Amino acid sequence: MATIQNLKKKLQVILSTQKITKAMKTASTVKYAKLSALYSDCEKYEEQCRHMYESFRNDINSVFSLKNPDAPILYILLSSDKGMCGSFNSELTSFFEKLLREQKKAPKIITCGKKGTDYLDNKKISYTKSYLFSDVPSYSDAYELFTELKKLIENGEISSVKIVYPKYTNMMVQKPVCEELFTFDDMAISSVEEPLFVPDRQTVIHCTAEKILVSILYKKILETALGAQAATLTTMRSAYDTACEYSAQLEMQINHQRQSQVTADVIEISSEYTMKEEE
């Protein structure tokens, strides 16, 4: 049985862990709230951009023509920069590894996030470029990524663009998915009458196409960051609760041993006193 001194040392370690997890839980809560508000605002704007893309899909796609069907596919892997978010990154990398095994031709890869980059380095999988975004990604981050994407398209180096990221459902659920950035259809679907383009259709489409696609891409980057913070917050809450529970158990164990020791001392003193009385 562990001594009271050993139990006290163990309790100090658990209490230190409790303080750390509480601080990390607080920081994650603040970041999650900030990202959640930003994502909510971005979602409304992206919804309108998505509607415009669905309405004028072929016109927008023609601005960024993917004219080389023999070129490799480009995968954009969106992951988090930090760990301590449970199975968030491992599920994503396992999903991505399965996608790579299904490819007959080696694809091009752009990785965004330190964990995704580390995974590719460990597996010795080559990639075209890597990006590191802040905990709260900005629109300029998405624009920088799209600029690299546009260069690959103009050079005819890719045949399609697929984004692999953890789709955010709620705080507890983030499921890895693979989605096409460009979708093609024989007819663009529009729920509104043909609008008036000023000065002309081609100029308006060309000016807005990039903004629409960057907004769609930015939402996916924000989803990844929001999911990572949600997973981190959930993990830190669980770690903090576990530390609190374990520290309470240790305190009870220490108190129990103290009571047992006091009882043993009382019995010993009482025995000595009784023996003296009998003498």
Our separate counts of H helices and E strands in the chain read 6, 5
Each residue's pLDDT tens digit, 83-121: 888 789 999 999 999 999 999 889 999 999 999 999 999
Examine the pLDDT at 188 and tell me if it is beyond 50.
Answer: no
For the sheet with 129-131, list strands across it. Answer: 129-131, 108-112, 73-78, 160-170, 173-180
Task: Based on the fold, state whether residues 179 and 52 are members of the same structural domain.
Answer: yes
Q: How many domains does the chain have?
A: 2
* 243 located within any domain: yes
Task: Based on the fold, state whether residues 52 and 160 are members of the same structural domain.
Answer: yes
Examine the pLDDT at 184 and tell me if it is beyond 70.
Answer: no
* 182 located within any domain: yes
3/110: higher pLDDT? 110
Q: Which domain holds residue 211?
A: 36-234
Position 71 scores a pLDDT of: 93
Task: Based on the fold, state whether residues 150 and 205 are members of the same structural domain.
Answer: yes
* 28 located within any domain: no
Position 274 scores a pLDDT of: 67
Task: Based on the fold, state whether residues 202 and 245 are members of the same structural domain.
Answer: no
Task: Based on the fold, state whether residues 105 and 212 are members of the same structural domain.
Answer: yes
Task: Based on the fold, state whether residues 190 and 52 are members of the same structural domain.
Answer: yes
* 186 located within any domain: yes
pTM, entire model: 0.84
Task: Based on the fold, state whether residues 16 and 149 are members of the same structural domain.
Answer: no
Return the structure tokens found at 208.
């807005």
Position 187 scores a pLDDT of: 45
* 25 located within any domain: no
Task: Based on the fold, state whether residues 50 and 71 are members of the same structural domain.
Answer: yes
Give the 3-state secondary structure of residue 108: strand
Position 273 scores a pLDDT of: 63
Position 275 scores a pLDDT of: 65
Question: Of 79-83, 140-144, 174-178, 266-270, which range is least confident?
Answer: 266-270
